[in-house]
Amino acid sequence: MKYGLIGEHLSHSFSKDIHNMISSYDYSLSELSKDELKEFMVKHEFLGINVTIPYKEEVLKYVNVQDELVRRVGACNTIINKDGNLYAYNTDVLGFIKSLEVNKIDVKDKTALILGTGGASKAIKVALEELGINYIFFASRESKPNTVLYSKLNEIKEDIDVIVNCTPNGMYPNEDAEPLIHLSDFNNLESYIDLVYNPLNTNLMLEAKELGIKSINGLYMLVSQAVYAYSLFFNKEYSDELCNKIYEKIYINKRNVVLIGMPSSGKTTVGRLLSRHLNNEYVDTDRLIESRVSKRIKDYITEFGLNRFRELEVNTVKEVSNYNDKIIATGGGVVLNPLNMRRLAHNSIIIFIDRKLELLTPTDSRPLSSNQRDLERLYEERIDLYKKYADYRVENNTTLEDAMEKVIEVIKCF
């Protein structure tokens, strides 16, 4: 290959997609075993490559020239073949710096805690030093020199201004994993940065949001380091405009729009209108459940009970929470389980379709709101939950088309 990415396992890599968005050139993915790596590097029949886990340090054996950042980090992720000589660069450092710059996160003279001591943490350390960090702590599960055990973090928690997660904790498919820390323990924390970008919002990012702490994921860094690599491959200037454009496209392609709200609030119809208008696939969790049990929800609850239905709902929400670029309408009671809402928030903007109580309509097809009294009771039980979990509230008190237009405006701004 002329250009591409090498690593041991690349099935979940975004690199090819990103580089194809940058420019229409031949960029390939090449999975190499450790035995295959040596032959590949010795032959170096390429013009430019990116390097990922676990070879960012190993490839340094074969390069001729290391730039300053590579020497400081002790690892590289980009190699250029110039007349048979291999030049090593580290665009991870530059990508991280750019992601903080774009998101207006200032770490100068701050104290940082880096979660993890692997290869990624080394690049982040150098990046933070470039940005004028005052001091860096490293957290580790094992006792190592110059690290703090996770169990001992309470001893430094008052000192920490910035936390950077350089571990795969919370990354798909283990997004439900117990977080390594709780941000609420750090009283002076100003910002939380997660290198994970799948899901878009890890559990720690969601906690940061609840606490009012600024947080970002690793997606902008991923795109930015790729654009820097491309600029090295072809000796071009780095482009902020190109980076922003690609980031926005990937973000939109990964993000779902989830509609929550009372039965008869208009979630289903608004969702279908959105689907047609935006050309996004529409998913209804209640209809998905009905198709799998071959029964109406009302009949299923009558036969098996409400608790069994809620179990089905949890499993269905877990499935759809890993979808991308969908319009998802949920059952009215999905907000009753915090686990449902946390999972939906991983990859979604959550919009509350709010319809006045007097405009809601009881119906026999909804077993928990088949009469006005039950409908009013449900409304009082759930209204605060809808408000709690929604990123935005959209009123649906006039026409469904008007509600759809309001949702579209919200999506554009999110």
Question: Which residue among 56, 267, 326, 406 is the active-site one?
Answer: 56
Four-residue CA torsion sign, 235, 239, 242, 243: positive
Give the span between the Cα atoms of 228 and 243, in whole angstroms: 9
Q: Using an 8 Å Cβ cutoff, are 289 and 297 in contact?
A: yes
Q: Using an 8 Å Cβ cutoff, are 199 and 169 in contact?
A: no
Sheet of strand 27-31, all strands in order from the earlier edge strand to the far edge: 27-31, 3-7, 48-51, 78-82, 85-89, 65-66
Catalytic residue check, 56: yes
For residue 71, the cross-strand partners are none
Give the span between the Cα atoms of 204 and 208, in whole angstroms: 6
C-alpha to C-alpha distances, 320 to 285, 314, 330, nearest whole angstrom: 8, 10, 10
Give the span between the Cα atoms of 43 and 92, in whole angstroms: 25
Four-residue CA torsion sign, 281, 284, 290, 296: negative
Give the span between the Cα atoms of 270 and 323, in whole angstroms: 19
Residue 195: name the closest of 315, 99, 104 by CA: 99
Whose tokens are 């009469």? That residue is 371
Q: Which residues does the annotation mark as catalytic?
A: 56
